A and B are shown apart, each in its own frame.
Chain A
């Protein structure tokens, strides 16, 4: 006699495979509810991801038929000085803007967490700049940091009696200028840090005070470990976001990334290749490298984070 096939024997297996009518109905409903996302995933994400990968091995200008180039786009990119420059500029911007922004945000959040009166009022004031549309914010900062008529250089001259930098018009200053401008938008991080700080039990601090711990010890031994998951979250989203910085730089440098390509960030160069030079294959290769760089950086941060991020549930 033939033994029954494995999937029909064994109680446990059966329970997993054969669903009750109710469970089956629920599962069908699940996929129906997910349908918009599934269609969107195929048409607007997965499909384009595959196409973009294939495209990165071709030469395509939107007019003639795509021409297979093999790894040509990639080898050309690695020999393209502007590609390397844009990567370096983006890294420079990220290393300035992300840590600076997080430190400022944490500082503000910790001050706000000291039982400040009218807390919601202050929180609103710090958050309002993040509401300003990117283009309006960019134009505003172009005006504030105007080398000749800007209010910032006026006060620099008045207080220090020296001429202020040329800001967006200087090769050395243009990226720091964008980093300073990005600091204006730390409100979001302040709100997140504040919520995280408020969730640290006060008993921890009280116990530490009884043990004679000073403010520095409390900060490094209680505050930082307790909010470390938030730090990690903001670090990862911050890196991903600043690697894709585009709008303020496009607006202020009128799409050029000047002066002398000093602010040609990665996505700006990608945009120029795709929509100015119509080198779609080349730009697709750039997009893929961007994806890999972001992925590797994120994985690196996550890997390092294991040594300093503290999750309560794990203890």
Chain B
């Protein structure tokens, strides 16, 4: 009876109290989860500042007592990483340009121009996404090796200029959201379709194009299988290949140096992500939810 009365009197406050407790628990859980998610990267940074002895010492220092920044130059000069970074940057940049231009042209065709087999062709675009790369990888490799293009960037870059199914899909979804009245106005002016694409559609879809640039840059920055198949010469390697050979080349595993090199490799995509988060998240959402 006592209980009934208190709850009747403070019904509103206890409900409020319960809600607040619930929110507090949620915030604690979310924070703990975020710490777990971020800890490995902290550990990468932390290990990169230790020496070859302190990095394997127990108990491990969760915050390094002395920071050995000299690990960075050592890790980056042990292999010709400057060349690897230049190669990776070159590969990613040219690939982005190729994919951006070709995919946005094709996406414009699908989103804006009426044609009889448009839908069938678009389904074909989507179904090529289903096809595993492994099916086309072997004949492509044979083709490029017959052309004597192995150990060059041509087999990796040429296909990028013919559109990527995923990006075509993403950009088409975005273009469909741009009001058509814009193009009608331009058409009356006698604007050709190419100019329509360049002067109307592209400026109106900056955020989607930024998302495409980031996606494409990150894929190629991270790409492993392509360079692994086509590149052998040391002067041509990308960072991802160089990094994966680090241990073998060093003989034994210098964890502190390996983590330093890994962190430097992780930084460019990370910085890019922080500067363009909004577009990035939007791109993921367009492809995931509307798709």
Contacts and interface: CB of A to CB of B under 8 A. Distances in A.
A223 interface: no
Given A240-B130, A287-B138, A139 B243 contact: yes
B217 to A, nearest CB: 11
Contact of B132 (A34, A146, A149, A294): A294
A13 interface: no
A233 B291 contact: yes
Interface residues of B, number: 89
A141 B40 contact: yes
Interface in B99-157: 102, 105-106, 108-110, 113-116, 118, 121, 124-125, 128, 130-143, 145
Interface in B213-257: 218, 221-222, 224-225, 228-229, 239-240, 243-244, 246, 248, 255
B38 A128 contact: yes
A143 B109 contact: no
A162 interface: no
B130 A133 contact: no
B23 interface: yes
Interface string A49-88: 1011001000010100000000000000000000000000
Interface in B29-73: 29-31, 33-34, 37-38, 40-41, 43-44, 47, 55-56, 58-60
Given A111-B26, A295-B130, A129 B40 contact: yes
Contacts of B116: 27
Contacts of A274: 137-138, 141
A122 interface: yes
A179 to B, nearest CB: 16
B205 interface: no
A6 to B, nearest CB: 19
Contact of A36 (B23, B163, B248): B163
Secondary structure of the A contact surface, majority rule? helix
A36 B270 CA distance: 32
Nearest to B98: A36
A114 to B, nearest CB: 5
Contacts of A301: none
A51 B113 CA distance: 33
Interface string A119-157: 010111111110111111011110110101101001000
A123 B282 CA distance: 13
Given A125-B34, A192-B288, A134 B240 contact: yes
Nearest to A254: B248
Contacts of A127: 273, 281
A55 B130 CA distance: 21
B285 interface: yes
Nearest to B38: A125
B33 to A, nearest CB: 6
Nearest to A113: B26
A308 interface: no
Interface stretch (A93-101, A165-173, A203-211, A245-253): A245-253
Contacts of B47: 143
Contacts of A143: 43-44, 47, 255, 258-259
B262 interface: yes
Contact of A30 (B26, B109, B125, B137): B109
A140 B43 contact: yes
Contacts of B89: none
Contact of B281 (A123, A131, A267): A123
Nearest to B125: A37
A287 B142 CA distance: 15
Contacts of A233: 288, 291
B113 A133 contact: no
A126 B41 CA distance: 12
Contact of B138 (A192, A283, A298): A283
Contact of A140 (B40, B141, B246, B248): B40
A244 B288 contact: no
A259 interface: no
A30 B111 CA distance: 10
Interface string A29-45: 11111101101110111
Contact of B130 (A33, A124, A294): A294
B162 interface: yes
A51 B108 contact: no
A246 B255 CA distance: 23
A45 B136 CA distance: 6
B289 A196 contact: yes
B115 A26 contact: yes
A199 B224 CA distance: 36
A135 B222 contact: yes
Given A43-B162, A244-B133, A247-B224, 10 more contacts: A27-B113, A29-B113, A41-B128, A60-B142, A132-B266, A136-B266, A140-B43, A143-B47, A143-B258, A196-B289
Give the 4 A-B residue pairs with the shortest CB-CB distance, closest first: A40-B162, A33-B109, A192-B288, A48-B139
